[in-house]
Structure 1
């Protein structure tokens, strides 16, 4: 079973990339978020891989970081959400955005993805809200200005500007994004005696209120305010 690929980017398509590993080209399907972070043709990159084996095919799905991979696995457990729809959802919402959407039960945000209607969005929220609260997303990775230019070079993103858009590739380093702070805030409320599900919902609402000020202290304070309301 293939869990990770590292090689030379040979071709980037609309929903996939071909990575040359020692002369063998692997076709890897990925979200637009992940594809946008890859270096241009000839650059070296690495992706975390989910392998799906069927009777008539073997498909490889690539992810920028462990958070995106975990969300893909979780989303595909929902009836009506296959690999293609899961990638479409991950193309329009980052792992952190998904966490917020489920915490706030924001089905409108989920419906931004092609293939996701109100019925499926409601099912995703209903089935995954509690499960998402238990995800250990960890840090994502962000690009460092070394090596070959990325596919988004024209936007001149710096490592700080790309925070949260990370990818596990050569010339990349881990950074902590909002998702980690949200998870820490949920854990803090659970340690205070609140249920994980209610803590998750409270932190989701707190994140919306906090805006750009999503520090751990702020999220805990606003979360406690929500829980005591």
Structure 2
């Protein structure tokens, strides 16, 4: 099992990253909550990982903190929740927001995530309520990755943001419309994705 990677960040194309670890390039998927805290391309970083082995692939997922990985593992244990949906949930909601939604049994927070209807949201909230009792004392502010910053660099544009939203499960029309609704100019793809996700209700 690969539990952690430390290396040079070679590529950031949400939701994918490429990390050079002693000359070996690891292709990893990460939720947007982790992307927001990654350093610039070319800098060193550490991520906590979860390996999923299937008959046709070995998939590696990366997280900024151990608790994010723990949350991911709790989500994929739920009936009907695979890695893709778990990443979408963790991209649409920060960890603290997701925990608060579970505590408040707020279905609207979950239904804005692609692939989650009202009935699915209600079921997930019920199943997660007991599991999250141990999470109630989590600090409200996430700690940035070493060498990183909470403010993403403007490294790409609208096309990358739309592509990333489609990868997270949104329809092309939804993704394009969400990004187009952001009127501020000069934003990087990661900030565009963040704002688009917040605007999708």
Give the TM-score normalised by the residue count of structure 1. 0.61
Whole-Å separation in 1 of the counterparts to 2:5 and 2:145: 17
The CA deviation string for residues 61-102 of structure 1, in whole angstroms up to 9 with x for no partner, is 000112211111111112221101111110111111111101
Distance (Å, rounded) in 1 between the aligned partners of 2:134 and 2:150: 33
CA–CA distance in structure 1, aligned partners of residues 138 and 109 of structure 2: 23
| Runs of 4+ that moved beyond 4 A | 136-140, 147-151
Q: Trace 1:148-163 onto structure 2 (pairs within 5 A).
A: 152-153=152-153
Question: Greater Rg, structure 1 or structure 2?
Answer: 1
TM-score (norm 2): 0.69
What is the deviation of 1:153?
3.7
Q: CA RMSD in A?
A: 2.1
Give ranges in structure 2 of 5+ residues lacking alignment: 155-201
Check if 1:74 corresponds to 2:74.
yes
Q: Which residue of 2 aligns with 1:118?
A: 118
What's the secondary structure of 1:134's corresponding residue? Answer: helix
Q: CA deviation at 1:46?
A: 0.7
Is 1:30 matched with 2:30?
yes
| 2:19 aligned counterpart, secondary structure | strand
Deviation at 1:149, TM superposition (A): 6.9
2:144 match: secondary structure? strand
Please list every run of 5 or more consecutive structure 1 residues that lacks an aligned counterpart in the other structure: 155-229
1:135 Cα deviation (Å)?
A: 3.6
Aligned length: 152
